[in-house]
């Protein structure tokens, strides 16, 4: 689908630090050791430092006093992307947030209380913070966004779906601009799931968390642009994954450099096999696997590579458990 979305603002929250510089530089990230249960095996994990100075103003925000970590990631990334937007522009801004697990830590706590202590232990204060729309509502209210609001749930490919939705909103004139964000938070529960899927066996695989976002409007010649998007390449088995990946890459111009994004996850061998004869973009720092946050990070990292020497770039978005997508990006002219 042709998008022609101009990137007017960017924001990132990563385990390497807060902001675009941390995302691009990817300096050594402190690795924490977390258990998948008590007792249970331990695994290296990349965590966002919620005590970082950038979060201080959000900790003082009354509306966020019970908010989940993912909400803090989102509101900080969103504020960065909106840093040059006026109050009037914010009032006409739509927001789309793509999640995979969402407010996982609070969801686990809520249901764990019920399982261990019965229905009477269900917390009416905790429950509202478990739903996917809750962080979206917090971000929109705190930052004064009065346009359309939407939450999407899926694997990494939901990031492509979110960008396509933003394009539709702009073409229909529903909003002046759209803020698209992807985010995930860590809870030890995910390690049990990743262990069952055998993802943790891959050398270099790191579970991560964080957020990133882009502020988008209709394309212009002065802005970096997301020109095209493809999604819907669905798979259920490894064989179908290979077929879907091959079909997806066949739609991309073989002369356009491609940014390899699988790196240390289970799709890395497949990506290597299918892209070895294509021109490759320079590698970008690896910040772990955080589903929608990873997809958003890689998009901003791809944007940072564009310039006179690399005017166009293909960015595969490998969904780890459902479908694949692809973005085409072009540098400002």
Residue 225: inside a domain: no
> Rounded to an integer, what distance in angstroms lies between the CA atom of residue 311 and that of residue 139?
33
Query: Looking at the predicted structure, is the pLDDT value of residue 103 above 80?
Result: yes
Residues 281 and 159 in one domain: no
Q: Of 218, 251, 272, which residue is a domain's last?
A: 218
> Rounded to an integer, what distance in angstroms lies between the CA atom of residue 329 and that of residue 333?
12
Residue 207: which of 188, 234, 179 has the closest Cα?
188
Q: How crowded is residue 311: how many other Cβ atoms within 10 Å of its Cβ?
A: 14
pLDDT digits (tens, 9 = 90+) for 28-82: 677 888 876 666 788 999 999 999 999 999 999 999 998 999 999 999 999 999 9
Residues 44 and 132 in one domain: yes
Residues 36 and 99 in one domain: yes
Residue 266 domain boundaries:
230-330
CB–CB of 9/209 below 8 Å? no
Find all residues with CB under 8 Å of 173, minimum gap 6, and list them.
Answer: none
pLDDT digits (tens, 9 = 90+) for 91-102: 999 999 999 999
Residue 87: inside a domain: yes
Residues 250 and 207 in one domain: no
In degrees and rounded to multiples of 5, residue 80 shows phi and psi of -60, -45
Q: Of 218, 250, 269, which residue is a domain's last?
A: 218
Residue 32: inside a domain: yes
Residues 199 and 260 in one domain: no
**pTM over the 0.85 mark:** yes
Percent of the chain residues topping a pLDDT of 70:
98
Residue 223: inside a domain: no
Residue 224: inside a domain: no
pLDDT digits (tens, 9 = 90+) for 15-26: 999 999 999 998
How high is the pLDDT of residue 162? Answer: 98
Residues 212 and 259 in one domain: no
Residues 47 and 73 in one domain: yes
Q: Quickly list H helices, 92-224.
A: 104-117, 133-142, 158-172, 189-196
What mean pLDDT, rounded, does the chain reach?
93
Q: Of 192, 218, 244, which residue is a domain's last?
A: 218
Residues 241 and 208 in one domain: no
Residue keyed to tokens 């069952």: 196
Residues 264 and 122 in one domain: no
> Rounded to an integer, what distance in angstroms lies between the CA atom of residue 50 and that of residue 331?
34
Q: How crowded is residue 137: how many other Cβ atoms within 10 Å of its Cβ?
A: 16
> Rounded to an integer, what distance in angstroms lies between the CA atom of residue 194 and that of residue 161?
24
**CATH number of domain containing 71:** 3.40.47.10
> Rounded to an integer, what distance in angstroms lies between the CA atom of residue 281 and that of residue 288?
19
How high is the pLDDT of residue 37? Answer: 63
Residue 178: inside a domain: yes
Using the Cα atoms of residue 267, residue 215, residue 162 and residue 1 in order, give the sign of their dihedral: negative
Query: Looking at the predicted structure, is the pLDDT value of residue 119 above 90?
Result: no
Residue 149: inside a domain: yes
| Pairing, β 210-218 against β 2-14 | antiparallel
pLDDT confidence tier of residue 116, bands split at 50, 70 and 90 = confident
Residues 211 and 292 in one domain: no
Residues 97 and 152 in one domain: yes
Residues 198 and 279 in one domain: no
DSSP states of 33-65 as a string? Answer: EEESSSS--EEEEE---TTSGGGHHHHT-GGGT
pLDDT digits (tens, 9 = 90+) for 268-292: 999 999 999 999 999 999 999 999 9
- Total domains in the chain come to 2
pLDDT digits (tens, 9 = 90+) for 236-268: 999 999 999 999 999 999 999 999 999 899 999
Q: How crowded is residue 277: how many other Cβ atoms within 10 Å of its Cβ?
A: 7
95 SS3 class: strand
Between 150 and 36, name the one with better pLDDT.
150
> In terms of C-beta distances under 8 Å and separation of at least 24 residues, what long-range contacts does 112-117 make, across chains too?
none
CB–CB of 45/186 below 8 Å? yes
Residue 190: which of 70, 43, 31, 87 has the closest Cα?
43
Q: What is the CA radius of gyration of the chain?
A: 19
């Amino acid at each position: 689908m042709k998008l022609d979305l101009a990137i007017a603002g960017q924001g990132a929250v990563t385990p390497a630090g807060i902001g675009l510089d941390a995302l691009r530089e990817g300096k050594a990230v402190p690795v924490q050791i977390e258990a998948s249960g008590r007792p249970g095996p331990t695994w290296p994990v990349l965590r966002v430092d919620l005590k970082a100075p950038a979060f201080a103003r959000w900790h003082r925000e009354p509306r966020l006093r019970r908010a989940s970590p993912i909400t803090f990631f989102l509101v900080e990334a969103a504020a960065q992307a909106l840093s040059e937007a006026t109050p009037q522009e914010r009032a006409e801004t739509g927001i789309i947030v793509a999640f995979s697990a969402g407010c996982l830590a609070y969801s686990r706590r809520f249901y764990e209380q019920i399982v261990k202590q019965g229905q009477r232990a269900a917390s009416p204060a905790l429950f509202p913070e478990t739903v996917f729309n809750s962080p979206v509502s917090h971000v929109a209210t705190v930052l004064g966004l009065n346009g359309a609001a939407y939450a999407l749930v899926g694997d990494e490919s939901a990031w492509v779906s979110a960008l396509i939705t933003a394009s539709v909103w702009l073409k229909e004139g529903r909003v002046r601009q759209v803020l698209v964000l992807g985010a995930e938070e860590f809870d030890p529960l995910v390690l049990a799931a990743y262990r069952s899927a055998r993802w943790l066996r891959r050398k270099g695989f790191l579970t991560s968390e964080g957020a990133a976002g882009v502020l988008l409007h209709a394309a212009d010649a002065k802005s970096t642009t997301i020109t095209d998007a493809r999604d819907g390449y669905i798979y259920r088995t490894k064989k179908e994954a290979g077929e879907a990946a091959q079909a997806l890459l066949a739609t991309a111009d073989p002369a356009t450099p491609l940014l390899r994004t699988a790196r240390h996850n289970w799709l890395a061998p497949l990506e290597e096999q299918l892209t070895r004869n294509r021109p490759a973009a320079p590698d970008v720092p690896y910040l772990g696997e955080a589903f929608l946050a990873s997809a958003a990070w890689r998009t901003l990292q791809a944007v940072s590579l564009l310039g006179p020497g690399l005017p166009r770039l293909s960015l595969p978005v490998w969904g780890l458990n459902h479908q694949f997508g692809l973005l085409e990006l072009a540098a400002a002219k």
